[in-house]
Chains A and B, each alone.
Chain A
Amino acid sequence: MSKRIEAIGLNIYYGSFLAVENVNMDIKPRSITALIGPSGCGKSTFLRTLNRIHEIIPGARVDGKVLLDGDDLYGPGVDPVLVRRQVGMVFQRPNPFPTMSIKENVLAGVKLNNKRISRSDADDLVESSLRGANLWNEVKDRLDAPGAGLSGGQQQRLCIARTIAVKPDVVLMDEPCSALDPISTLAIEDLMQELKKEYTIVIVTHNMQQASRVSDMTGFFNIAGTGKPGHLIEYADTAKIFSNPDKAETEDYISGRFG
């Protein structure tokens, strides 16, 4: 259940402000694609258009196309709610629902839209999702404890379990490790390698070592200056971006000679 994403001529706006201009990108299924670039370059904004969560901000909109295995996510009559079920998202800061237990958190997405699920199916799903997120062994004895009581790294893996429990085609990660310590970061990175066997993964990261460690493809975003739109400068194999990029701008950024 892994799908290809194609962005075609995508312009992203906040009201009348053009935040990201003309992105064309072809993201392969069963791979990890990293988006890097300086703060404010539009990489998170671009990521958030891939599950149509960008548009919950008043005035935010896009033009252009985002194709998920050929189907336009922004086509007429497409329900953003259904898009978000196919394209899951993990956020910068772990955000388990504080009023729910670990188990309820995992099942939160599954129980939406009045879906009924038998207790044994639910238990199986909780176990498989938590195993999938490498969290099962740590929490199997306290599934009814509050999700917010876990450590930061565990909470983030709980959020990943919650995301994969709804069996999406794509998992988006918006700087998933930026609030975590190095050991938790490593756990998440290992997990991503597992997840890419089944899902298309797109990750935004500020950490270039992380991008080079985990990803297959890397996209570099940049802006010409404050108030100007962000652009996708270069998009290629991670190995190429980090060893022999085509553009001087990319070279400057990855070698730290930026600015």
Chain B
Amino acid sequence: MTAAAGNIPKPKRRLGDLVFSRVSVFAGILILVVLAAVAVFLTAYSLPAFFADPKTLSSSQPTSFWAYVAPLAFGTVWAAFLALLISLPFSILVALFVTQYAPRRLATIFGYIIDILAAVPSVVFGLWGIVVLAPSIVPVYTWISDALGWIPLFSGPVAADGRTILTAAIVLAIMILPIMTAMCREVFDQTPRLHIEAALALGATRWEMVKTAVLPFGRPGIIAAAMLVLSPAQVISFALFHSENPNTIAANIALNYPESSGIQVNALMASGLILFVITILVNMLARWIVRRRAAFSGAN
């Protein structure tokens, strides 16, 4: 010890520690500031729309702001929900195949292909949806309407261009499939070997091992991946979409912004604020689902 007797040695401050702590504090504050700035900006621009004459908000002349935004909000949540419903089982199954069933060499090749697919810009999927999927899916919709028309949900008329919320959901599902799969694969790969062996040693078949060890371990990761994947994907894809049925908020903003002025811009901003709130609520819900069984997560 170099300190003289009676003197308490001063803790030495190292440059690296100092830089690291400052940088991380700065980064933490920055993200809060950005988030607050977005919230303030949206709120400020939205306020006029809440108090304006609803008929001026959009060319469709809604009766109130909520009548204007509610179908859009519903469209957003519904399209996202349908897309998850379609893609989640596929992603989980593909990821399980790659991590648990495929021989190692095949799994590696599969992994590369999925990563490449995940790197395809979402705009490409959106275009494909409009140019290829929407026209070719019309016969299917016509058939559904003919065969199941007696159920009110499926009664006609069929959208002639096929650009419905279901088409949108399918495009969205295909778009998020590779990235969801890549993330699920990553999560499943992290399953502790100890738990896999515990299940197998009890006499579990491969599928039982997946059920007892891999899936429970991966559940929080799957939920997080689903949340993470959806938000950016919707915003980009629906810019290209226009439909007769409930549209999504992101598509509505992207489509109408260039042609809007005055109070209509405020209305679009207000719908953006609603999207912001929806996203936060969904994320809180996801966190709550993950945390509800925190004691059983194995983190302790």
Contact = CB atoms under 8 A, between A and B. Distances in A.
6 contacts: A53-B197, A56-B200, A84-B204, A95-B194, A97-B213, A101-B296
Contact of B203 (A95, A101, A112): A112
A99 B205 contact: no
Contacts of B300: 146, 148-149
Interface centre among B194, B195, B202, B212 (most CB of A within 10 A): B202
Contacts of A88: 201-202
A146 B296 CA distance: 6
Contacts of B104: 58
Contacts of A56: 196-197, 200
A211 B49 CA distance: 80
Interface of B: 103-104, 192, 194-205, 208, 212-213, 216-217, 219, 293, 295-300
Interface in A87-107: 88-89, 91, 93, 95-101
Given A98-B195, A113-B208, A163 B202 contact: yes
Contacts of B219: 99
A99 B297 contact: yes
A108 B198 CA distance: 10
Nearest to A87: B201
Contacts of A78: none
A64 to B, nearest CB: 21
Interface string A59-89: 0000000000000000000000110110011
Given A113-B203, A113-B205, A108 B212 contact: yes
Contacts of A58: 103-104
Given A53-B197, A97-B212, A148 B296 contact: yes
Contacts of A145: 295
A163 B204 CA distance: 12
A95 B197 contact: yes
The 5 closest A-B pairs by CB, nearest first: A98-B298, A85-B203, A109-B202, A99-B216, A89-B201
Contacts of B299: 98
A112 B197 contact: no
A99 B293 contact: yes
A95 B195 contact: yes
A103 to B, nearest CB: 13
Contacts of B204: 81, 84, 109, 112
B64 to A, nearest CB: 47
B130 to A, nearest CB: 43
Contacts of B202: 84-85, 88, 108-109, 112, 162-163, 166
B200 A53 contact: yes
